[in-house]
Structure 1
Amino acid sequence: MSLVIAVTDDIATCRALRRVVFIEEQGVSEADEVDDLDGQAVHLLAWLEGRPVGSARLLVQGAVGKIGRVCVLADQRGTGLGAALMRAAVQEFGAMPGVAKVKLGAQTHALGFYEKLGFVAQGPVFDDAGIPHREMVLLL
């Protein structure tokens, strides 16, 4: 199995993956999924055997790195790919001077997944695109 996770400028492929997972599978509206932040973000793309299978978007807000738009195609969930993608995202932020913590908005059904990676839930449940989420934080 040949898995490669790397920073990419191929935003179109990242958006195509996000369309499948968020818009088609989860019913998120295109207006909620597509925003103006892609141009200022670092994008990670996961390739398995030459096929794009996951992505994540990284934004820096002062001393905070924000991971968003994390998606893995359905046939790759449960394989460890999502965890590898998250570790790569945290590693990217760890290499950025001044970034002291990483945060993300986790869908509540995925809280356990992120907790296993060291993230801690904080604050109340909130709605994002009709899906319940909680903020999660990891100190670097």
Structure 2
Amino acid sequence: MLIKVSKVYQPAHLDEVFAIRREVFVGEQNCPPELEWEHEEESNHFLATVDGEPAGASRWRKTDKGYKLERFAVLGKYRNNGIGQALVQAVLNDLPADANYIYLHAQIYAVTLYQRFGFEKTGPEFEEAGIRHYKMVLAR
């Protein structure tokens, strides 16, 4: 199984990213579509493939607080194969050298994934799009 993560710009690749997010967030997790599609233009998008087939997606963007990692999604048939880890690593590698405050909103089940990369929970559990999350910040 060959996992490859690429930063994508072309409309065809962005369509694959959005299709993965639609299946995982809107289809599986019942997120309202209007909450799923925001900040696309200022985001840096990533597509994970397995043996050339689209399998996962993620993005990062600069906010008024710092650099936010978002929209990590892996299609069901590809889960538990290291694709989430590959996406996190690719996004972290792509951040500017001066990115000093890096954070994300982790769904509860994904907290341990982000902890492997040095993220720490900050604050209480909260709900976003009807799903339980923790804010996590990369410890430096």
Do they superpose with TM above 0.5?
yes
Q: How does 1:1-140 map to 2 (within 5 A)?
A: 1-9=1-9, 10-35=13-38, 37-61=39-63, 64-93=66-95, 96-140=96-140
- Identical columns (%): 31
Structure 1 runs (4+) deviating above 4 angstroms are none
Q: Which amino acid aligns with 2:29?
A: Q
Q: How many residues align?
A: 137
Q: Is the contact made by 1:63 and 1:100 (CA closer than 8 Å) also made in structure 2? A: no
Cα distance, 1:40 vs. partner? 0.8
Cα distance, 1:62 vs. partner? 5.6
Structure 1 residue runs without a partner (length 5+): none
Cα distance, 1:98 vs. partner? 2.2
Q: For 1:90-137, what per-residue CA distance to the aligned partner results, in whole angstroms no more than 9, with x for missing partners?
A: 1111xx142113110001122122112211000111110000111001
Helix, strand or coil: the match of 1:43?
A: strand
Q: For 1:35-55, what per-residue CA distance to the aligned partner results, in whole angstroms no more than 9, with x for missing partners?
A: 2x1111110111111111001
Helix, strand or coil: the match of 1:117?
A: coil
Structure 2 residue runs without a partner (length 5+): none
Cα root mean square deviation, aligned: 1.4
Q: Which amino acid aligns with 2:116?
A: K
TM-score by length of 2: 0.91
Q: Which amino acid aligns with 1:82?
A: G
Q: Is the contact made by 2:120 and 2:139 (CA closer than 8 Å) also made in structure 1? A: no
Helix, strand or coil: the match of 1:19?
A: helix
Helix, strand or coil: the match of 2:80?
A: coil
Q: For 2:116 and 2:4, locate their aligned partners in 1 and report how far apart those are by CA, in whole Å.
A: 22
Q: For 1:62 and 1:29, locate their aligned partners in 2 and report how far apart those are by CA, in whole Å.
A: 24
Which sits farther off after the overlay, 42-51 or 58-67? 58-67
TM-score by length of 1: 0.91
Cα distance, 1:85 vs. partner? 0.7
Cα distance, 1:63 vs. partner? 7.2
Which sits farther off after the overlay, 78-87 or 2-11? 2-11
